[in-house]
Structure 1
Amino acid sequence: MKRSLTALALLVAASAAGAYWYIDGKQPQRSGELHLNDLQAAVTVDYDERGVPHIQARHEADMYRALGYVHAQDRLFQMELLRRLARGELAEILGSKLVDTDRLFRTLGIREHADRYAAQMDMHTPASQALLAYLDGINQYQASRPAPLEFDVLGIAPRPFSVADTISVAGYMAYSFAAAFRTEPVLTHIRDQLGADYLKAFDLDWHPQGVVGQSLAAGDWQDLNAIAELSHAALLNAGLPQFEGSNAWAVSGSRTASGKPLLAGDPHIRFATPSVWYEANLSYPGFSLYGHHQALNPVASLGHNREFAWSLTMFQNDDLDLIAETTNPDNPNQVWYRGQWVELHSREEQIKVKDAEPVSLTIRRSPHGPLINSALGETVGSTPIAMWWAFLETANPILDGFYQLNRAASLEQARAAVEHIEAPGLNVVWANASGDIGWWAAAKLPRRPAGVNPSFILDGASGEAQKDGYYPFSANPQEENPARGYIVSANYQPVSPTGMEIPGYYNLADRGQRLDQHLSDSSVKWDLSNSQALQLDPGTGYPQRLLAPLAADLRAAAGDAEEQALIEQLLNWDGQHTLDATAATLFNQLVYQLAFEAMADELGDAFFANLLQTRALDSALPRLTAAADSPWWDNRGSDAVETRADAVKAAWQNCLAHLRNTLGNDPSQWAWGSTHTLTHNHPLGQRKPLDMLFNVGPFAAPGSRETPNNLSQPIGPAPWSVVYGPSTRRLIDLADASSALGINPVGQSGVLFDTHYKDQAERYIRGEYVPMHLDGEAIKVNSRSQLVLRPLKR
């Protein structure tokens, strides 16, 4: 027995040693020396206490090559999965369950567009040279170091990253902005199947009759709903970043304690492990920038230095139209376009599938764009639906735009840089140490025919889907140095200098109004401390705006004294979504029940589920609760004609029943923090038991939908998982940019078991900030290790 135990102990020890050796070999190398091809001189990389690399180079190309190398050390699997998702290549590593997702992204045309765009790029521009050096750094890392653990698990064969991969990932990010797939089918269904009276809640009555001339059949509606479901599922299940909203503001020196502008920004993006942003402090003679980078992008999307700083929010302009085509009865391969029948173009593609035969698909295109019916494989409808998307149709030199923005120290330089960003639509909020602040809505806005409402599916045969060129950049919403001394951007409907309508899928104005209310207080001098409090504000006035018209109906719905007390608590609630707030739980459950009682019977399960994923519902609900005579309140499943009071009573009773069944009978235990949690999901953490290894969380989360601290959950029944929120929180006072503060929601590294895999997650959820070291002395003091990259001797 002793010999057996000894042998077992040796086996366990050997296995442990082997596992340690294997895992240790996957970790980033952050100290010592390494050699890279094509470096002109040595590059030093100091890693600080959070694992952020501070790269000092003598030459620009060396700086970007080093960035590519260290970025790959921490995020290679994220880069790989993003390019595969964007290019429709996930089934090759994840199997047949991802064929539908691959088919969707192939149909969107991102892969084909990226290959064509990359082939036509001028690779001699400074931005292109930066990209090539950066990609070379990634590829040198991949060729010389062990593959990430995830590559081994999934059997991924490494292949070089290319310019087309970078363009493809940009296409995925642009697509994640587009709300048309989730919104246009359900709004068109409401208009065509229910009628104009039902549209009033959605405030679309400036063209309520719509523009689809032909009648869509039942099979067409089934297809459209399936496309909406597929689009949502593809983004939800990817475990990868998806852009959703954002806050940003700039305050001029006249309104700050320091006398210099202050910039605040927190882009709202779907949470994931690793998080979207990779922080890096880059410098070479004449250039210095602390930037937040996306995967496969050498230039920072967010950044600051001693001279200037900027942040982003989503413009949310409607840059994607769905268009119903009319086919030739004698030739189904022709559609009516500008007064004649024209041929559809088609191409064949193959999707490689792990452990299965490849899947062939035919992707067709009309003059308006790709026919998205192909995303469903076998469709049941007969109407081709085309997609016009600005990302595919504009020149969009976005890489050049951000390369210039990384170097834009003046208003003129920043404005010129932003004009190059054509799709997706972005708000750029910018400030400099000279005292200027500015905001520009960046997008190539199409000229649509007068009266056309692109919130609905358009009629391709009648001319309403045509675009008569684009508006000039000067017509885009924008401000420079406004007299009020501050600028706010929070995804609400912006106003053009020309007064033109800009269709879009905008968020509620409540969040922006709340920020504006605080920033407009001239008695406040803004600094890093009170700016933190504003970014972390968990309150909103939306609940009272929605509930006030229902007060009498809610009081009448109370069944006993306990229920009456809960209703009074709800009606008197200040909208603060703090961890201990029981009213927050009660309100968010009631919102779902009100939507269900009012709309589910008219829409059916599938369209109602899609409506829950749209921003249109947030805007519709306060208008609906204020309209006692709305036809939505009548329940189509009964012979009687129900009133708003009937629906409110049913919603209240079902709300309480669900909370009691889910959380227990004691309302004092219905605290928001016990029902509203944040988990940072890794793509491999989608399945048990891998979730316990790769995912980070759950954490009790304050905030909610459309609070400034926008830790947002879907509308639905309790409990709620936070889906998206601040992807970083940044505060830069340009009187002393070296004191800038930020935070990463999870950690800098995407390498499992690395020190920096999740070292910021708890600090993030507690609302803490950490320094973003900028100057040489701070870098030296906070350096934990130094990696030196040297030219490879030949």
Structure 2
Amino acid sequence: MATLFKWLVRAFVGLIVLGLLVLALVWYLASGSLPQYDNRVEVTGLGSTVEIVRDHNAVPHIFAETDEDVYFGLGYAHAQDRLWQMTVLRRTAQGRLSEIFGEATFDTDVLLRTLDIYGVARQMVEHQSPDTQAALRAYSAGVNARLTQVREEALGRGSPEFFLFSREISPWTPADSVAVNRLMALQLSGHAVSEVRRAELSLLLPPDRLLDIMPEAPRLSSLAQPEFADLFDMQPANTPLPLRQALDPVAEFGMAGASNAWAVDASRSASDSSLLANDPHLGLSAPTIWMLARLEFPGGGAIGGTIPGMPGIIAGRNESFAWGLTTAYTDDQDLYIEKLNPDDPSEYLTPDGYAALTSREVLIGVGDAPARTVTLRRTRHGPVLPGDAFGAGRITPPGHVAALAWTALDPTDRSMDTLIEMQHARNIDEGRRALRGMIAPSQNFTMADANTVAMVVGGLAPLRQDSHQGMGRIPVPGWVAQNDWQGYVTRDQMPADIDPRSGLVLNTNNRTTDRAFPYHLSHVWGDTQRIQRARRLLAEREFHTVDSFVEAQTDIVSQTARILLPLIGRDLWWTGSPVEDDALAPLRQVALERLAEWNGEMSEHGPEPLIYAAWVRNLQRHLVRDELGGAMADRMTRLQPLFIERVFRDVDGASEWCNISTSQVEETCGDMTVRALNDALAELRDTYGTRVEAWRWGDAHLAMQEHEVLGRIPGIALIASIVQPTGGGDDTLMRGRLSGAQPNPYANVHASGLRFVVDFGDPENSRYIISTGQSGHVLSRHYDDLAVLWRRGEYIPMSLSEDRARADAIGVTRLVPRGQ
């Protein structure tokens, strides 16, 4: 027995030693790809030496003698820190994810091949200006210089993820950068998904009730145009939503891009010079899509947020001009239901009779399995969507297909010119000229020079005919000529606010125009709530400072909660015994007392935001389940505040939603409120315990910055994903959009990955932050070092002073022409 025990001990010790050796080997191989910021590298493709000075936050400050060499340096710096992220973005745009991820991403690949994002990008390159093409080539050369160094010096394949997946990395090309731009356009556009949602709901609801749950702005008469049920012989599908595909870039309903931006001119600034603030919102990830950088061109420097894969500052400032972005919500997509020839399904109906579908075959690799051949089809309107892409399969009648018309598929788009020229603009007039070739993605550009501010909608909207059957709200018959686009709305008809008398421009994805169709831009906007809080905060001060802009940018008071709580709780406040005597009574008493004193601040440290969020979530579920059915109701997982407000104010009879038509009694909105509160309290009790005082919003509202691949691997996910409690909510200025999905419907999944504030009275005091860290390497100390600052609403300084950058440097990478 003693001998057996000794051998068991030896075996156990041996396993521990073996495990440590394996971990050491993994660490050694993975750490080999950590970028060396203090280095001298000989490269090809440079005209002269480039210096990449990394400050203590690992922000690259790039110095060179020509613009092209600056872009070369940025490409190299991006590849140093974000090579895996860039590779995944490119593979997504190309429809080549399944080559490394297998079956899980096959449907995503089919969709991207169908849209031909990469084919459009290749054509777009030729339409950019010579200067932009030169920048794209130089940036690509910088990326490829890093790839060459990784290969020649055996630097751990460039990123740890390549040890788990394919090590093959094709050289970067200008089309790759344009494809990343097109992919961002796809993530920022949600109108096709919105059309499908409206079509589904119109099959279930009468027009007046449809307006409750999908209100329009500008509002149309419910009789002005036919609804989907009038155009097609369809029955409600009411089927469960298919599982979301891995790495799917199509935004879910209500989850397209969002942002805040505002600026005041010299007359409203304490420094007598303009101020600008911007915080773009996208889905959270680790690393974030953003990376801070400073580019020192021979004509002057630019500093701000970049997106690895693209050559330039996306939002930021130079010495005399600043610009920020918010998604414009321009209705840039239309779904067309095309009727196939019953005698020949290779043809579809047009206003002039049947015409042949354009088709081509592509081969898609699927991991170690045999590659698959997929047939891709197009109509005169655009690509025929595969399967249930954009949800279109649920509303496409038998014998028909759905085709997508989308402005971002126009190969003459010169959005990359806008990116390059904006960095060199010296005033608002030059900033506006930079928008002249842009089509998609449509963005609100908030601009400021030293004394003046402006907001201009960049990009173009499709021009629909006055007689368009759906007005961009629902899918329409593709064989009806009146539904065809007539080109684009002209640029001078796009909204613009230049040098306003108020001295203030502001956008939170709210409506930017009251013009009638077809110059309305959109019937669906990204915000109706944040704008109320932003207007109040910015109007209550006559003069603003960097600190007042930061205060507004990090504000966590929910205007939605302030509106809804008095409506839904009006019959419950201060009524003594709360409603009825049951097991939940003690919780209900405390919860109602706390909510009665609450000011709507969504602090991570208190229980009130959690009670409120659970209450309204359950309330909406109760209201819609009867009318929509279980499957459709299960898709309505995110709060629709205008819907709740209409119901409880009984706008146009909207309180009808409170009654359950199949029950024998008539329920009131008060009944629904009590049921929802009880369900919410039971849910929170079961999850967080019986002491209301111990509940914390931050325990539920966790910012889920997950690594797209490593975050799914047990153990490794603890290192690769960045999860931390946060304040804010769906409709606060410091936005933290709730997931709405199990296992944690209150998780923060969509927020500002970048925040910055610029003061032209003291430009060097401008502040910036991103949500993770500069590096995409999980072993780097700069992988998550900015995350805690971001959570706390803090910032880092970024300067255009070369002396400050060098004094603060943690390393200088010198790229020198090979042979020098």
Pick one of 499, 518, 521 that aligns with 1:481.
499
Unaligned runs of 5+ in 2: 1-5
Identify the residue that residue 169 of structure 2 maps to in structure 1: 158
- Report the count of equivalent residues: 782
The alpha carbon displacement at 1:245 in A equals: 0.5
The alpha carbon displacement at 1:540 in A equals: 2.0
Pick one of 745, 765, 770 that aligns with 2:771.
745
1:272–1:623 distance in 2 versus 1, CA, 3 Å = same
Identify the residue that residue 196 of structure 1 maps to in structure 2: 207
The answer to whether structure 1 residue 431 and structure 2 residue 431 are counterparts is no
Preserved contact between residue 454 and residue 499 of structure 2 (Cα < 8 Å): yes
Query: Quick one: distance in 2 between partners of 1:272 and 1:144?
Result: 28
Identify the residue that residue 272 of structure 1 maps to in structure 2: 285
1:53–1:174 distance in 2 versus 1, CA, 3 Å = same
1:329–1:679 distance in 2 versus 1, CA, 3 Å = closer
- Deviations 1:542-572 (CA, angstroms, capped at 9, x unpaired): 1232233333455587334642453353355
The answer to whether structure 1 residue 448 and structure 2 residue 464 are counterparts is yes
| TM-score, normalization by structure 1 | 0.92
Pick one of 65, 70, 85 that aligns with 1:78.
85
Identify the residue that residue 57 of structure 2 maps to in structure 1: 50
Identify the residue that residue 3 of structure 2 maps to in structure 1: none
Query: Quick one: distance in 2 between partners of 1:639 and 1:156?
Result: 65
Pick one of 522, 531, 535 that aligns with 1:516.
535
Identify the residue that residue 413 of structure 1 maps to in structure 2: 430
Query: Quick one: distance in 2 between partners of 1:547 and 1:378?
Result: 36
The answer to whether structure 1 residue 758 and structure 2 residue 781 are counterparts is no
1:390–1:649 distance in 2 versus 1, CA, 3 Å = same
- Deviations 1:271-310 (CA, angstroms, capped at 9, x unpaired): 1111111221111321311132112110211121221111
Please state whether the residue corresponding to 1:384 is helix, strand or coil.
Answer: strand
Preserved contact between residue 180 and residue 322 of structure 1 (Cα < 8 Å): no
The answer to whether structure 1 residue 183 and structure 2 residue 194 are counterparts is yes
1:250–1:521 distance in 2 versus 1, CA, 3 Å = same
Query: Quick one: distance in 1 between partners of 2:137 and 2:631?
Result: 45
Instruction: Decide which moves more: 451-460 or 28-37.
Output: 451-460
Query: Quick one: distance in 1 between partners of 2:626 and 2:25?
Result: 59
AA at the equivalent of 1:413: E
Query: Quick one: distance in 1 between partners of 2:465 and 2:784?
Result: 50
The answer to whether structure 1 residue 544 and structure 2 residue 562 are counterparts is yes
- Deviations 1:105-128 (CA, angstroms, capped at 9, x unpaired): 22233233223434x445x61011
Identify the residue that residue 816 of structure 2 maps to in structure 1: 790
Query: Quick one: distance in 1 between partners of 2:16 and 2:697?
Result: 48
Preserved contact between residue 711 and residue 717 of structure 2 (Cα < 8 Å): no
The alpha carbon displacement at 1:16 in A equals: 6.6
The alpha carbon displacement at 1:773 in A equals: 2.3
Unaligned runs of 5+ in 1: none
Please state whether the residue corresponding to 1:258 is helix, strand or coil.
Answer: coil
1:17–1:584 distance in 2 versus 1, CA, 3 Å = closer
Query: Quick one: distance in 2 between partners of 1:498 and 1:195?
Result: 24
The answer to whether structure 1 residue 126 and structure 2 residue 131 are counterparts is yes
Query: Quick one: distance in 1 between partners of 2:211 and 2:247?
Result: 29
The answer to whether structure 1 residue 107 and structure 2 residue 114 are counterparts is yes
Preserved contact between residue 540 and residue 707 of structure 1 (Cα < 8 Å): yes
| TM-score, normalization by structure 2 | 0.89
The alpha carbon displacement at 1:716 in A equals: 5.6
Preserved contact between residue 191 and residue 198 of structure 1 (Cα < 8 Å): no
The alpha carbon displacement at 1:585 in A equals: 0.7
Query: Quick one: distance in 2 between partners of 1:440 and 1:533?
Result: 25
- Residues 275-674 of structure 1 mapped to structure 2, 5 A cutoff: 275-374=288-387, 382=398, 383-393=400-410, 395-433=412-450, 435-450=451-466, 452-495=470-513, 500-523=519-542, 525-554=543-572, 558-560=579-581, 562=586, 563-612=588-637, 617-627=640-650, 629-636=654-661, 638-674=663-699
Please state whether the residue corresponding to 1:267 is helix, strand or coil.
Answer: strand
Query: Quick one: distance in 1 between partners of 2:166 and 2:478?
Result: 45
Please state whether the residue corresponding to 1:336 is helix, strand or coil.
Answer: strand
1:236–1:342 distance in 2 versus 1, CA, 3 Å = closer
1:230–1:14 distance in 2 versus 1, CA, 3 Å = closer
AA at the equivalent of 2:757: L
Pick one of 122, 145, 149 that aligns with 1:140.
145
Preserved contact between residue 264 and residue 274 of structure 2 (Cα < 8 Å): yes
The alpha carbon displacement at 1:736 in A equals: 2.0
The percent identity for this pair of structures is 27
1:35–1:521 distance in 2 versus 1, CA, 3 Å = same
AA at the equivalent of 1:687: R
AA at the equivalent of 1:176: Q
- Residues 664-743 of structure 1 mapped to structure 2, 5 A cutoff: 664-715=689-740, 720-743=746-769
Query: Quick one: distance in 1 between partners of 2:501 and 2:686?
Result: 54
Preserved contact between residue 728 and residue 742 of structure 1 (Cα < 8 Å): yes
Please state whether the residue corresponding to 1:372 is helix, strand or coil.
Answer: coil
1:163–1:552 distance in 2 versus 1, CA, 3 Å = same
- Deviations 1:247-279 (CA, angstroms, capped at 9, x unpaired): 111111111111110111111111111111122
1:139–1:643 distance in 2 versus 1, CA, 3 Å = same
